[in-house]
Amino acid sequence: MGGISIWQLLIIAVIVVLLFGTKKLRNLGTDLGSAIKGFKGAVSDEPAKKDEATEENSAHNDSLGDKTAEKSNTAEKEKDKV
């Protein structure tokens, strides 16, 4: 009595498709699916990804520091030549 029958669900689905169109509904489904997938990935892999990101950033910063040191050494050598 109080439940929704299959016919009522089909009528609602037809009305929604007529109002929004299949293209918008497909895009909405794709966006919703990717958002859920991203959320699950962020929740399950958060600690591991943070550690990896920290290691990558520190390695990147070390390489930038080395390049900066090389540039300053090169600049000092050029000043000595002049």
HEC secondary structure over 20-66: HCHHHHHHHHHHHHHHHHHHHHHHHHHHHHHHHHHHHHHHHHHHHHH
H/E segment holding residue 4: none
Q: For position 37, what pLDDT does the model report? A: 94
> Tens digit of pLDDT for each residue in 29-81?
999 999 999 999 888 876 555 555 555 555 555 555 555 555 555 655 565 66
Q: For position 35, what pLDDT does the model report? A: 95
> Tens digit of pLDDT for each residue in 5-20?
999 999 999 999 999 9
Contact 16, 25 (CB under 8 A): yes
What's the pTM value of the predicted model, to 2 decimals?
Answer: 0.41
